Structure formats: structure tokens, C-alpha cells
Structure 1
């Protein structure tokens, strides 16, 4: 009863410190540490003793109050400046949490008091949120606070009997109860549309926690995790957009199609992602296209179930049309590489239906093959891969485009031969091999119309430089 009274008084003192003055707050922390050291925890937690039933709940309330005190302030420091006072406070709170976890571990190891599990159930959520808030490098952390937070997380997993964070959140098997529900219950008040940006650490806690929960555990929490992911992805800051899209991608990859199609969730996801394609940020475009490529099978399955199989790939057509529209005038290399990186996946998904986009694809392929893309030549290599797939899937419609594509490939070969830049020989070899493969495919689908005499005077003859043996072999083949 004395301990219960002391903890209640401590909670009242913490609630009365609105500005959290340094000396008064540290005095309270010192008193709590003294209580933790002096209490006989095995007797207090033993169900046969006279310990009050509210003690584990009081400990949980105290842990939540201290975790909030150690959280970064609601207003972010200008220019991402450091917050040394927050890191110092977090290190002190973490040291107290380590003491409390150490006492619980001692009670657990004694095997004489099963009631430690009740106390851990109230403490696990606040301890976990504290650890995830401070374990990584952020403006509000320091090496010391990061080390203490990492110790708190490791000790929490050990006391909980879990080998990983995923097991801690989900449980050992599908039938076991993890602590993801409890953690999301603590995060829920801070993850609505108005409050998710108040605590700058909240988006990182939610995102990192979400990434640890996979199929089949994630499905039952869909109503809790989908709205915050959409809020974060809909922010005006690109960093938050990318973070939110990563959360949405994790949901798409780990929730069954039937659950995503229920209540039209998949269409909501598609519209939210599609709108991001108008943003000229290569990191965002990269995340969005990867997520959309995983979402297309879900949307197509919904169309098949509704009996509209003819329109099953309309979403993919719509995205590819917009991507090609943006690719044509794009001059920024990072965006060009990002678009080119995902173009083969769209051609593979559409197959023969790529013929709907052949006219625009032809312009994009010719334009991207002409532009040097730096030493790695990522855009050109991906465009050559796209051209191979286009020829393979739409070969009956290629013969009428033979001259345009052949000129572009021959010009590329001449550019490779003339290239005196820092492009590695391995990259030049890869370009030559891909281009030669495209020429072979063109020759096959045009019934042998690829002849060197038709273009020797116009292209190869104008390439006045010494070719390597492999390049000369390619020219001779043509």
C-alpha cells in the first residue's frame, strides 16, 4: 500500500510539471529509481501477498508518463538541429527502465511468482515505444541515448522470451497473441489526421513497427494501419510521402487480395498512388511504381471476380500511358533512370497488349538510346531490355518499325565505339551484348531483312574509329 501511494504521488507530481523543469523532473526520477531499488518485487507481485491489484497498472501509467517526457518536443528544431536536452533526458529515463526490467527479470528467473507477466503486459508497450523512438540516429538522439534505447529493447525481448521484434509483436506462431495490438493501442491517439505530425518520432515508430509484422498477422489489423499509412503518404513533404508509400507497399505485399478488395480498399490505394506519379521526385516515383506493380494483380483479380475480365489490365495501361507521357520530355537523369528501371516490368505484365502503346514506346526507346547516361548506363541498359521484351511480345507489329529501331541500334553501337569517357569496359560490353541481342531479334521477326549493306554507308561507314573485336563481330553479323 505504501508503494502504491508513492507511485500515485509520483504520477501527480509528473502531471503537475507542465514545463518539465530540469531539477524538479530529475528529483522525481531519482525518487522513482529509489523506489525501484528498495521494493521487494517478488513479494509485491506475488498473488498471495497483500500487494494491491492496481500495482501493475500504476507501473504502466508511470512508464507511459516517463516515455512521453522523454519523447521529442512537438515543434521540430529548425534545419534539423540537434536536441541535446531531449537525448539527455531519454538516457536517464532509459536507465530507469533498465533497472525496472532487471527487477522483472530477476522475479521471472526465481520462478516463484507468475504475476510478473501481468506487470510486463502493462510495461511492454511504453518500453517498446521508448526504445524505437531513440534507438536510431535522429535529431533528438545522441550516441548515449541510442545505446541505452538499444539495451532497453534487447532486455525487453529477453524478459518477454522473444528472439526478435517480429516475435514480440506477432507471437511465436499464428495462434499466439503478440503485443502489436497493445502497441497500436498506445499509438492510436497519435495517428489520426490531425495529430500524427505533432510528435516527429511517431511516423518512424509506426513505419518501423509495421514493417516487422507480416502475413498472416497483418490482416486482422488492417483497419488500424491503413488510415495512418494514407495520411502519411498524402503529406506535402516528399520524405513523408515516400515513408507512407513504403507503408502502403508493405500492406499490399502482406494482406490477401480478398481483404484489400473488400470495401473498395484496393481502389483507394490505387488512386492515392496514382496521384503521386505527377510529382517529379525520383525517390517517390521509385516507391510508387514498385507498389503499383504489386497492386496490379490484386486489382486484376477483382476485375475477374466481378466478371469484367476484358478490363482486367486497364489500371496497368493507365499507369504506363502516364509514365510514357512523362518520359518523353524528361531531361533529369535521375528521373529518366527511375522510369527506365521499371519499364520492362510493365511490358512483361501487359504482354501482347503492349501494342496499345507501341507508337509512344518507339519514341521513348529511340530518344533514350541516344542520350549518354553516365558511367553505369543504367537507363540505356534498361531501355534495351525493354526493347527486347517489346520485340518478343509484339513481333507481328515490329516489321513496320524495323528501319527506325535499326537506325537507333546502329547509332548506339557507333556511340559505344566512339566512347572515350570513363564508362567501364564491362558496361560497354553489356551494352554491346544487349544491342546485338536486339538486332538478332529484329532479324528473326523481320525474316532476315536486317542487312548491313542497307545502312553501311549511312551509319557504320561514318563511324571512323577502331572497333574492338566484339564490336566488329556485331557489325559483321548485321
Structure 2
């Protein structure tokens, strides 16, 4: 066992001069075990188990001052290599390789590696108040990144995790925060205050080689670690890392798989919410964001459309900062106009209920945003509103309720143009009231009441807009 070899040479090391840069016997012992774990000898399960057992014994029986000895001996770099190798060893396989048996093996590996990380972090924790181990902080600085990536990879519920591996990974994350004296993951990443340097830059540096176009799918956990980590960092810290986080977010959102598109749009939305408008307007970044997100509107996936519309609604105020209306002539067409026009084009012939509900859910927000400028889309809005009011939308009637809300807002914002549409809108509302009243049992009573109330409110607004002609 390498542990015995390391002990035998400890006396010889004591006579060597401190300035010698030759690798220590302890470092060599770690290197040999890592070679056994990752080299050709690692193919057998017994060989890997023996290597992990030896590594655990070596960590457990090595004194703190030797484990974290200074830079001259290179032990911090050796420990960093140990942590990186263990994190890679427990990483899930490529998506196309990841099938049932592989996932079980990954979960078992993760549980074993997690126990080793707990031993290593436990060593640091017990030496926290010790004066004989001053290099502890140096060692921790090298270990924190790989251990964090391991903990996040295996603490989230994914196909390659099990209940046991998730429990161990969460214990590792908890102990990591404890030894780094951080109250939360966010504090671990960005520091306790704006002046303090956190570990977010280091984590992004470790993830960067795996977040390029050629390699980001080699490890299916990388995108999840990146996304989860990104969303822990908010204002005012996130703006300092914009150049690091924007390209990977755009890369993930541009994938052909819907789940990756959704994940990428979530990342972009977080950036929109937490980076100042001035930084997004610089170098035309906001236009890049807009076009990347806008293109997803052509995909008929209701889950994707949901996150895209939410992101666009928060992006419009930033886009409009660059378009200042000076009061002379007609107001320029905005990006909100462009998106609403496309939405209405898709809504009119749409027959899939989930997509109809998703579009209808966000229509009121677009009308509120445009205000009086909704008149530009009035003709198409009228057709969509009447068409959607005619179709039963299931027990919850979400689409029809949102369309009624949209109709009320449209009439309030564009009331001078409503009187000429009185007959068409009145017929549609009265037909809806009759359909709801005649519905024997399909719609629950609370939903019926809500529909009748919304339709009545629309009739009242319509009456005001037409100077009492409804009565």
C-alpha cells in the first residue's frame, strides 16, 4: 500500500532542506493511487475499490501539517489533482452512453467519492483552530472548486443519482460551506460583500473547458451545474462575470433539444433580470439576446414558448431604452409589436390546447405593455379573441378566461376604436354567456362563475366605450 511507503520515507524527508522542490513521498503516493484509479488497472471493479480504499486510508492517517504542507512541496497542487480526478471519476457518462446500468454505477462511484471528500474536508475542519497547520487555507483554495462541482452534480435529482449518492453529495456541500465559513452557496460563490472576491470566477474557469461547442455534451451534468450555479449569483455581482456567462448560456439555448433550449433561456432570463441595462446595451449584447430568444417562438413546444415569452417581456424595457420617441411623427414600431404580431399569427390557426393556453396566458401582458399602441394589432386581435371565445377549453377554461381579460384591457386602452366593433364583440360575449349558462356539468361552478363575471365586466366596459348602446 502506498500509505506504508509514504510513512517509511517520512524520516528521510525530515532531513531535506525546505527549499528543495522535489516531490514529496506523500505526493508520489497520491499520484500512484490516482494512476491505479484512472489507468489501465482501473478496469476492474476490485481494482478501483482497492484504489479508493487506499486513498481513504492515506488521507485518514496523514497528519494535517503534512497533508497541507507548503507550496515548495507542491501538496496543494497534488490535492487539487486528487479532487479533480475524483470529480471526473464520478462524473456521469455521455448522454448516448448513459443507460440504466451505467447510471447505477455512477451513483455508486459518487457515493464512494463523496465519502472520500468528507474525510478530506473533515481533516480541514478539525484543523481550523490549530496553529500547526497554517497552510490549510491554501489547500482549501485548491480543493473547493472540484469538490463544489462534484457536490452540485450529484445533489440534484437526476437519472445518474440515487438517494444515497444525493445524501452524500449534500453532506459534502454542507461541510464545504462550513469549512469555508459561508452561510450559503451564494455567499460561497460571490463573497460576503461586493468588495470580497468569491469563488464564482474559479468555478467558471473549471467549467469553461467543458462548455464549448465541441465538448459541452460530453458530460450531461456540466450544463446543470452551470445553470444552477449561475442562478445563485444575482445583482450586483453578476455583472462582473457577463463575458463568462453569456456565451455558454447562448450555446445551451441554441441546441436542438427542447430541454436544453429551455435551460438556456432560463439562464438568459436570469442574466436579463440581474445585469444592469447599461451593460446589456453595451456592444449590442441586448440585440444578440433578443434575436436568440425570438427565434424560439417558431418552435411549437408550449414549455419553451412559456419561458421565452416571460424572458421577452422582461427584455422589452431594456430594448426600448435605445428607442426614445421624441414626439415628432408616429411612434416607431417596437420589438414588442414584432413579437405580438408573430404571436397573433400563430394563435389564429392554433388547435393544440396547451399552446393555446400558453399564448392566451401572456396576451394581457403584451396589451398592458403596448397600451394605446395596441390599435396597430386591433384587427388581428379581434379575430383571435372571437375565435378563442367560441372554443371550450377544458374544465379550467384558462384560455377563455385570459382572452376575456385581454378583451377588457384592449377595450380600455383603445376605447375610441371599440364602438365600430360593437356588434361583433357583443355577439361573441352573448354567445359565450349562453354557452356557459347551458353547460350542464362539464365546467365546475367556480369556473362558470368566473367566466360569467369576466364576460359581464367586458359587457360593462363595452357599454361605456359605445356610450350606452349595449343596453
TM-score (norm 2): 0.91
- In structure 2, what is the equivalent of residue 468 of structure 1? none
Alignment equivalent of 1:216, drawn from 236, 240, 252: 236
Residues 234-253 of structure 1 aligned to structure 2 (within 5 Å):
234-253=254-273
Distance 1:139 1:197, change over 3 A: same
Matches within 5 A, 1:336-347: 336-347=356-367
Q: How big is the shift at 1:338?
A: 0.1
Over 3 Å counting, the alpha-carbon distance change for 1:143 and 1:179 in structure 2 is same
Deviations 1:324-364 (A, max 9, x none): 00000000100000000000000000000000000000000
Note if contact 1:301-1:312 (Cα within 8 Å) is conserved in structure 2: no
Q: Which runs of 5+ in 2 are unaligned?
A: 1-23
User: RMSD of the alignment, in Å?
Assistant: 2.1
Map 1:39-438 to 2 at 5 A: 39-42=62-65, 44-45=67-68, 52-77=72-97, 83-110=103-130, 113-304=133-324, 314-438=334-458
Q: CA deviation at 1:230?
A: 0.9
Q: Distance in 2 between matches of 1:69 and 1:190?
A: 15
* CA deviation profile, 1:214-253 (whole Å, cap 9, x unmatched): 1111111111111111111111111111111111111111
Shift of 1:210: 0.8
The 3-state SS of whatever aligns with 1:304 is coil
**Structure 2 CA distance for partners of 1:106 and 1:270, relative to 1, 3 Å:** same
Q: How many residues align?
A: 448
Decide whether aligned partners of structure 1 residues 158 and 111 sit closer, same or farther in structure 2, where only a CA change above 3 A counts.
farther
Does structure 2 retain, via aligned residues, the 8 Å contact 1:303–1:311? no
Gaps of 5+ in 1: 452-478
Deviation for aligned residue 1:415: 1.1
Contact 2:325 2:331 in 1 (8 A): no
In structure 2, C-alpha distance between the alignment counterparts of 1:107 and 1:78, rounded to whole Å: 40
Q: Distance in 1 between matches of 2:153 and 2:330?
A: 48
Distance 1:269 1:78, change over 3 A: same
Q: Following superposition, which runs of at least 4 residues in structure 1 exceed 4 angstroms of deviation?
A: 77-82, 305-313
Q: Which moves more between the two structures, 80-89 or 12-21? A: 12-21
| Between 202-211 and 357-366, the greater mean CA deviation after superposition | 202-211
Instruction: Indicate yes or no: 2:45 matched with 1:22.
Output: yes
Moved more, 5-14 or 60-69: 5-14
Q: Contact 1:300–1:312 (CA<8 Å) still a contact in 2?
A: no
Per-residue deviation, residues 227-280 of structure 1 (Å, max 9, x unmatched) = 111111111111111111111111111111111111111111111111110110
